[in-house]
Homo-oligomer: A and B are copies of this chain.
Amino acid sequence: MDTPTWNKPLTIVKVGGAVVEDEAQLRQLLTDFIAIKGAKILVHGGGRRATTIAGKLGIETKMVEGRRITDAEMLEVVTMVYGGLVNKHIVASLQAMGADAIGLTGADANVIQAHRRPLKNGIDYGWVGDVDRADGDRLASLLRDGITPVIAPLTHDGQGNMLNTNADTMAQTIACALVPHFTVSLRFAFEKQGVMGNPDDPTTFIPHITEELFAQLRADGTISGGMLPKLENALQALHQGVAEVRIGQTVITR
């Protein structure tokens, strides 16, 4: 019998590429992840291994304004490294720890649909995906079967091509798509304790941010730079029904 599951908890954890590449940090992250009660999804970033392996294969890493250009050769490398090496290592590790993990890219069971990014300011980012939507019903069906999806930062364009894709955006899209099925909490693992008034001063850690406080912290310049879009995205997710977002140990709610 299909019982409604919208009030059951689901935790989506996004972890960056740097953690994934450090075996000790990865082990700790997976131990913490396994301990989370209820349904869960892990979304992982790529990391620098793709650059190293591309270099050994004689494939040049091209950056424009600090962003990786994914040409056809680099797409093969990230598909191998993110979708094969990194993803299967995490899946096998979680299986050994007792979680029934399944590795997915957006192409697998078409769980995340995307399109190739159009030119931006005349820059062609290559085989990079902009996310359109996630299939919440399909993911919910896997979760209800006791499966833990482990999602690599890759999507597809529906025309046979894989696309290199931002893991933060994927995590957020998945979180919003699962709102009709679960009470969703979205956590971004973070190298610092959380959001800080001054990134260099641990005593300025901000434990809880509401929409009101965010407006204030932005206005007075306490929060600026790369943290602004992160918090804007978090608030957007909350507006779409996600119950709670965490950046490190900072809790963000409406």
Known A56-B58, A57-B53, A145-B141; judge A160-B84 contact (CB<8 A). no
A158 interface residue per 8 A CB criterion: yes
Candidates B80, B89, B100, B109; contact of A147 at CB < 8 Å = B109
Contacts of A80 in B (CB 8 A): 53, 80-81, 84-85
| Distance in angstroms between the alpha carbons of A93 and B107 in the assembled complex | 9
A83 interface residue per 8 A CB criterion: yes
Contacts of A97 in B (CB 8 A): 160
Contacts of A158 in B (CB 8 A): 95-96
Q: How many interface residues does A have (CB within 8 Å)? A: 41
A165 interface residue per 8 A CB criterion: no
A162 interface residue per 8 A CB criterion: yes
Near B by CB (< 8 A), chain A positions 5-59 give 53, 56-58
User: How many copies of the shown chain assemble into the complex?
Assistant: 2
Between A85, A92, A162, the greatest number of chain B beta carbons within 10 A of the residue's beta carbon is seen for A92
| Distance in angstroms between the alpha carbons of A88 and B79 in the assembled complex | 7
Near B by CB (< 8 A), chain A positions 63-122 give 76, 79-85, 87-89, 91-93, 95-97, 100-105, 107-110
B160 near A96: Cβ-Cβ < 8 Å: yes
CB distance from A144 to the nearest CB of B (A): 11
| Distance in angstroms between the alpha carbons of A100 and B103 in the assembled complex | 16
Known A145-B141, A154-B88; judge A107-B81 contact (CB<8 A). no
Which A residues are within 8 Å of any B CB, using their own CB? 53, 56-58, 76, 79-85, 87-89, 91-93, 95-97, 100-105, 107-110, 141, 145, 147, 154, 156, 158-162
Between-chain CB contacts (< 8 Å), 13 pairs: A76-B85, A79-B84, A79-B85, A79-B88, A80-B81, A83-B83, A83-B84, A83-B87, A88-B162, A95-B160, A96-B160, A102-B104, A141-B145
